[in-house]
Chain A
Amino acid sequence: MNNLPLITLLTLTPLVGALLLALTGDRGERPAKGVALGFGFLALLEALLLVTGFDGKSASLQFVERHAWIPSLGVEYFVAVDGLSILLVLLSALLVPFAVAVSGGVSDRPRTFYALMLLLQAGLFGAFTALNFFHWFIFWEISLVPAYFLIKLWGGPARRSAATQFFIYTFVGSVAMLLAMQAVFLATGTFDLPKLAELARSGELARGLETKLNWTGLSASALGTVLFVGVFLGFAVKVPLMPFHTWLPATYAEAPSSVTMLLTGAMSKMGVYGFLRILAPIFPGPLRDLLGPLMALAVLTIVASAFAAFAQKDLKRMLAYSSINHLGLCLLGLFAAMQPTANTATWQTEKVAALNGVLLQMFNHGLTAAALFGFVALLERRSGGLRGLDDFGGLRKVAPVFAGLMGISLFASLGLPGLNGFIGEFLIFKGAFPLAPFAAALSTLGLLLTAIFLLTLIQRVFAGPLNERWKNFPDLTRGELLVFAPAVALMFVLGVAPQLVVRLINPTVIEAVNRLGI
């Protein structure tokens, strides 16, 4: 069992599916969707195998596969999972079949559409399991390409500019990151991420920068900061952290809703993952030096995005800003955990709480936000593309099940206890408040505003007198119920039993805090 290269198989599964779709003839949407769904479920099965085989008590890397690739460049095929990776692999494995199942009405080149969805999944799997920068970067970029085409070919009216903006923004970020990491390679001679983290801890990295890159004329700490900023840009755009976010509302709004499910559910997590896997371990020094401004940006992201969401009239834009707000909370927790403190058990506990919260929030936001965009997809399909805040009204009367399930998802999103969102937010604040009291206190404003705009959404769309135009608005069909009920059920399950997720991540988080602690 352990000799099976499970991670490679997992990454290959959607690739094979995509290839199959590319090679077969065009037979309309249904078979293409079926194939994509089949491979999606296969990948989910493999991901579940991975989870069951995963030793939750250990913080070490598991299912390691390591082969030489381009030895002269320090490039290895090096994949493995720890608590963080496995969580996000599981999330991606859950979300892609979910998004595929929600997709529908793709009349234009359906095979390509579903093949690109699978390709995107392969990119996600690769990026969440690769531990060599070179190899990781390839997957990071691979996931960008299908996303770009999915937006550009199947998006809304302003899709061209949105796709271009998305691509350029994230690409510029990637280039900055690539350059910075090449400098790191020059200084250390390795692309191995765990090793780089170790070198950073031992001070080897700083020494390397000083000796190998002295031609730049910069001191090691200045150089460290420059490189940090380069890598930071790549991730800040992806998450996004304000003010690197302007691509997001347009992109989320223009992308087909099922693609937006993946963009917000899984791809935005790549940014936070990068912060956790690469930025914080390799550049802890510069990160700490800039912690004040970074914390301010996180608070700005949380509060300003919630305010902006409040001003939106387009449901997708509103939910897009809501996503920024939720991921801002992840960064708040992450930055708080980087706060230098005395190395006592009390502070360790707070940091562990904050990071556990961040990871939970990543998973839960992925689930909830994907479900919400999924519901918007159904709204759009029923209304012929309308999705304005004021386009509906009173829908709960004609579509009570729809209103109920979407309502539950909205309450999950605003952090109602008993549903999945709450515990993550609670743990983030539990850690962040003692570590950074003012930033955390200000950020609670974001929680309040989230409640305001999400309840406004319910009020305008589902309550009030029924808009006569929608008196034949169909409730969820049996098939749709089958797709959404598991997602909503999972919200309940994780709300009541967060242990299911925490048991996977807790040791990894403790280990991370021990390593980051000074």
Chain B
Amino acid sequence: MKGIVNQLWLIPALPLLAAGLIALMKRPQRKPAAALAIGSMALAFLVSCVAFVATLQPETGKGAVQLTHNFVWFDLGGSALRLGWLLDPLTAGMLVMVTFVGSLIFIFSTGYMADDENFTRFFGFLALFAAAMLGLLIANNLLFLFMCWELVGLASYLLIGFWFHKPSAAAAAKKAFITTRIGDLGFFLGIVWLYHETGTLLFYDNGAGCLEQGAIAKLVAQTTVGGMAVSTAISLLLFCGAVGKSGQVPLHVWLPDAMEGPTPVSALIHAATMVAAGVFLVARVFPLMGNLTADLGADTHAPHTMALTVVTWVGAITAVFAALIAVAQNDIKRILAYSTVSQLGYMMLGLGVGGPAVGMFHLLAHAFFKALLFLGAGSVIHGCHHEQDIRHMGGLRKLMPLTFATYAVGMMALAGFPLVFSGFWSKDEVLHAAMIWSPSKLPFLLALFGAVLTSFYMTRQMWYVFFAPRAEAEHAEPAAHHDDPHAQGHGHEPHESPRVMTMPLAILAVATVLLSLFATPVWPWFHAYLGGHLDHLHVGWSADSAALLTMLFSVVAVAVGVGVSWRLYSRSSTATDALGSRIPKLFMALEGRLHVDEFYAATVFRLNAAVATLSDWFDRFVWGSVVELTALIAKGLAFVSRSVDEQGINFGFDAGCQTTRGAGWLASKLQNGQTQCYLRILGTGVVVLIVALAWMGKN
């Protein structure tokens, strides 16, 4: 069973192979392409399950299962650059989630993308994404993780820009790639720094890895600029990458725009998996971030290091910032996108205050219910003939009952309805850890406020989409964000989506509920699993009073959010936004996404363009004129020398010419056309040559 780590490469290799084969297929080969992609993903899911089972039996006293398989990539200097696979609970949990959710979304896509002419290519890109994402998860080397990290970025770029003929999609794709790359520069420098300091990028290597005690102790002991520990500096650089990928403030701007991609892409990449890679990264390098020289064990308090403090604050601010904006959005996908940003903030917060188990459980729970919500939104959009504005929907509860039911499950999980939804337990843990975080209570308060906002905007969305009186079928203006180029005419009644789309919804809804069983105070299985003490796990009430208090706060927050929102919206007409008419100025600012994009356009972009123009101008005119000047001087000198030539030297030259002419006459005599004469000369030549060679040979 433990030998599975040597075969772990199969998990990313299967979808990669599928992607390669699909790339060679022709456009009409739709069915084989989809079958190949789904089949490879299903197989990867099976292998992941085997790997998962292998992590379930920790050896007593040794902590969590940690299997590695390292190998040489290429020789470098006297040593070698080694890569490797790693199987531990963190990896195994993510593998199962990604392959499971991924398979469902692949299946959903066959329905959603059924009319698209580039159906085949779509599945190729999806498979490529899956390969890169799974590679990222099994990496036992930070460099390999980074490589896959960039490749998921590429897949995201290709899929956001899938409808590349739309300028908005092409622009959004570019924006996503570049914004994340800004964070990646820090990540990149962090990697080379870590490599220099520890001499390896393998996470675990029998005690010699860069996340193992020896290396961490060394990094903590050294200081760099400003008296900062090297471990802190490297951690913060690595965190830059996480900020970009996981859409944390201030690099969150790309994620809402990424909704230009087809909805299954939004569900898989920009909600469930890829954007969570930043959170996964922080969890992976947690020993470095937390300066851990010993196992964290069963502790649910993260150490108070500077790096983790930064993670905490960035997470808390993002959680509230994005939730605020989500309140005033009208595009169904955009609301979910900001919600994703906000929830990623919660995950970061959870990591910062509570450690990997807290942050990762929220990640896994979120992956299921957010995939559910996005696919539900896809089903709504599909059913409404590519309408995305929630104000133009309404009354879908009756028309799309299955979508409604599953969407409601997702919504309640996201909002944190108590007890039977995974989102409640996972968010509760984050709140709990934040509440007992000693440096400051502000992150807790921010998170609590965010929870109110979350239930508020989700209720608003539910009301508009499913409960509001049915809007007029004909709209004065067409929807701004068509999800598909060949949107059929409006006016058809919305219809329930085909079974291939609703089945994944149902499965995800069930999973969302079932997952709530694994992290309750009664049976905190997930903690025990990640911490490697499953053998000590007992069923029984383990919550203290602080935990109970948090639950109370959490329930109140949900109730307030839902209550206020429902009251506000259910009593007003759909013509104007109920909140917007009460606080018009603030609402406008929120609707305008707090003008972060405009701010960047006015500062960063403009500066960039100005420097570019300056560089070009400098080249053309400053360096250019230096060259011109040199040329001018050279020409001047040339003129002088020509004058000297013509007036002075030519006289002597003419005399020389006379001599040459004489020589020419002699030469012409030789060219007399008589073979004997030529042969004679040739013979003489050969003799002279032989003599010369012989003479040279003697020396």
Residues of A within 8 A of B188 (CB): 426, 429, 444, 447
Check: A142 CB closer than 8 A to any chain B CB. Answer: no
Residues of B within 8 A of A383 (CB): none
Residues of B within 8 A of A345 (CB): 78
A interface residues (Cβ-Cβ under 8 A, vs B)? 165, 168-169, 243, 245-247, 249, 304-305, 307-308, 310-312, 345-346, 348-350, 352-353, 356, 394, 396-397, 411, 416-418, 422, 426-427, 429-430, 433-434, 440-441, 444-445, 447-448, 451-452, 455-456, 458-459, 462-466, 497-499, 502-503, 506, 509-510
Nearest CB of B to A378, in Å: 20
Check: B612 CB closer than 8 A to any chain A CB. Answer: yes
For the complex, give the distance between the alpha carbons of A455 and B79 in Å: 36
Nearest CB of B to A371, in Å: 18
Q: Tell whether, in the assembled complex, residue A502 and residue B76 are in contact, meaning their CB atoms are under 8 Å apart.
A: yes
Q: Answer whether A249 and B619 are a contact pair too, CB < 8 Å, given A307-B612, A506-B76.
A: yes
Q: Tell whether, in the assembled complex, residue A416 and residue B189 are in contact, meaning their CB atoms are under 8 Å apart.
A: no
Q: Tell whether, in the assembled complex, residue B77 and residue A308 are in contact, meaning their CB atoms are under 8 Å apart.
A: no
Partner of A246, one of B77, B165, B196, B619: B619
20 more CB-based (< 8 A) A-B contacts, given A416-B150, A451-B181, A456-B174: A168-B631, A169-B627, A243-B626, A304-B618, A307-B611, A307-B614, A310-B609, A310-B612, A345-B78, A349-B199, A353-B76, A356-B76, A397-B164, A417-B147, A433-B189, A433-B192, A440-B192, A447-B188, A459-B174, A503-B74
Q: Tell whether, in the assembled complex, residue A464 and residue B192 are in contact, meaning their CB atoms are under 8 Å apart.
A: no
Residues of A within 8 A of B193 (CB): 433-434
Interface SS of chain B: helix, strand, loop or mixed? helix
For the complex, give the distance between the alpha carbons of A510 and B78 in Å: 8
Q: Tell whether, in the assembled complex, residue A426 and residue B143 are in contact, meaning their CB atoms are under 8 Å apart.
A: yes
In B143-191, the 8 Å CB interface with A consists of: 143, 146-148, 150-151, 154, 161, 164-167, 169-171, 173-174, 177-178, 181-182, 185, 188-189
Nearest CB of B to A413, in Å: 14
Residues of B within 8 A of A346 (CB): 196, 199
Which residue of chain B is the closest to A248 with respect to CB atoms? B619
Number of interface residues of B (CB under 8 A): 52
Check: B608 CB closer than 8 A to any chain A CB. Answer: yes
Interface SS of chain A: helix, strand, loop or mixed? helix
Interface string of B596-628 (1 = CB under 8 A from A): 000000000000110111111011000110110
Partner of B165, one of A168, A411, A466: A466
Q: Tell whether, in the assembled complex, residue B616 and residue A246 are in contact, meaning their CB atoms are under 8 Å apart.
A: no
For the complex, give the distance between the alpha carbons of A169 and B627 in Å: 9
For the complex, give the distance between the alpha carbons of A307 and B619 in Å: 11
| Closest CB pairs A-B (n = 9) | A417-B147, A463-B170, A352-B77, A311-B616, A499-B74, A307-B615, A310-B612, A311-B612, A308-B615
Q: Tell whether, in the assembled complex, residue A465 and residue B615 are in contact, meaning their CB atoms are under 8 Å apart.
A: no
For the complex, give the distance between the alpha carbons of A352 and B151 in Å: 27
For the complex, give the distance between the alpha carbons of A28 and B176 in Å: 50
Q: Answer whether A349 and B78 are a contact pair too, CB < 8 Å, given A433-B196, A434-B193.
A: yes
Which residue of chain B is the closest to A308 with respect to CB atoms? B615
Q: Answer whether A502 and B189 are a contact pair too, CB < 8 Å, given A416-B151, A456-B174.
A: no
Q: Tell whether, in the assembled complex, residue B181 and residue A499 are in contact, meaning their CB atoms are under 8 Å apart.
A: no
Residues of B within 8 A of A246 (CB): 619, 623-624, 626-627
Residues of B within 8 A of A350 (CB): 196
For the complex, give the distance between the alpha carbons of A506 and B78 in Å: 9
For the complex, give the distance between the alpha carbons of A208 and B576 in Å: 90
Q: Tell whether, in the assembled complex, residue A448 and residue B76 are in contact, meaning their CB atoms are under 8 Å apart.
A: no
Which residue of chain B is the closest to A309 with respect to CB atoms? B612
Residues of A within 8 A of B173 (CB): 459, 463
Partner of B616, one of A308, A456, A458: A308
Partner of A455, one of B147, B174, B613: B174
Residues of B within 8 A of A411 (CB): 154
Q: Tell whether, in the assembled complex, residue A498 and residue B74 are in contact, meaning their CB atoms are under 8 Å apart.
A: yes
Check: B195 CB closer than 8 A to any chain A CB. Answer: yes
For the complex, give the distance between the alpha carbons of A112 and B12 in Å: 52
Check: B73 CB closer than 8 A to any chain A CB. Answer: yes
Q: Tell whether, in the assembled complex, residue B75 and residue A447 are in contact, meaning their CB atoms are under 8 Å apart.
A: no
Q: Answer whether A434 and B192 are a contact pair too, CB < 8 Å, given A246-B619, A416-B154, A427-B76.
A: yes
In B470-527, the 8 Å CB interface with A consists of: none
